[in-house]
Amino acid sequence: MGIDIEPTGAAVGAFVNDLQLGDVDAPTGVDLLEALGEHGVLFFRDQDLTPEAHITFAETLGEIDVNVFFAPNDTYPKIAEVRTRPENTYVIGEAWHTDHSYETAPALGSILVARQLPSRGGDTAFSSMYAAFDALSDGLKETLRGMRAVHSSHEAFGIGVAKMPESERAERFQDEFPINPDVVHPVIISHPISGRPVLYVNRSFTTRFEGWTERESRPLLEFLFEHGSSVEFTYRFSWEPGSVAIWDNRCTWHKALNDYRGETRLMHRITLKGCPIAA
């Protein structure tokens, strides 16, 4: 591989050294996708990535999937703004989740660029669903392989957004957006790039198991949610000016840490379209 990969030493993530994303060509893009499938998250430092270059780089990796919920950047509608102002109490994405699991073809990955950072805090935590699957007992692995789960955008983007203060809701989310019909995915999927088995549920969007009620599903889902966030599967990334993170939504969870009250944080996110996933 023609790129310099340095694993974090944790269960998830690797740093890519000596590569400017604005200069990435198609063959290097293929290498990056292969590395993404292996490590789950790729981190980059000291990048000089304009919004135009952000879009161009994303299109080198795949087709852009514009999020219908987030408010877009006024000048660059393919870029979603993830903004926290000093007066905000809620941080977008502060619960463990994987982007777009509520879609029939879940997102391949997301590319997050730091634009304005607080003086302290504002890290993002990632967790490996490869490692989460590997650590399950053989009996539970076998049980879960035969199960499917329902993923829904209604709780997070319907009920959840409606509960937010109007001032926060108006700036950070679209005025009106469709709530997608619920979708069903295997609980254990085969990763489209690596072929490895992955635990594919998440707290924000998985509501129940197919054929089970929500009440029946809750104890097992809660166990899986707690299991997937175990510290031994995670890595906490500290943002700096010029930092970029790319994560694979099929094999990782992530969450934004809400620990910088009274300060501003602005990130630009582009999401890449994926494909239907299978067991």
Three-state SS string across 127-145, please?
A: EEHHHHHHCCCHHHHHHHH
Model confidence at 1, in pLDDT bands (50, 70, 90)? very low
Buried-exposed string 15-25: b where 16+ CB fall within 10 A, e elsewhere: bbeebebeebe
Per-residue pLDDT tens digits for 24-60: 999 999 999 999 999 999 999 999 999 999 999 999 9
Are residues 192 and 156 in contact, defined by beta-carbon separation less than 8 angstroms? no
The mean pLDDT of 166-187, rounded to a whole number, is 68
Where do the domains of the chain lie, and which CATH numbers do they carry? 4-272 (3.60.130.10)
Neighbours of 69 (CB within 10 A): 19
Percentage with pLDDT > 70 across the chain:
88
For residue range 11-22, list pLDDT tens digits in order. 999 999 999 999
Mean pLDDT score of the chain, rounded to an integer? 91
Choice among 115, 250, 254, 265 that is catalytic: 254
Catalytic residue flag (residue 254): yes
How wide is the angle at C-alpha 42 spanned by C-alphas 119 and 127, nearest 5°?
A: 80
Contacts of 21 by beta carbon, 8 Å cutoff, 6+ apart: 44, 47, 49, 53, 57, 244
Whether 99 is a known active-site residue: answer yes
Please give the Cα distance from 174 to 259 (Å, whole number). Answer: 25
Q: Catalytic residue among 83, 99, 151, 208, which?
A: 99
pLDDT in tens, 219-239: 999 999 999 999 999 999 999
End-to-end Cα separation, the chain, in angstroms: 28
Question: Which residues make beta-bridge pairs with 256?
Answer: 124
Question: Which of the residues 83, 97, 100, 208 is marked catalytic?
Answer: 97
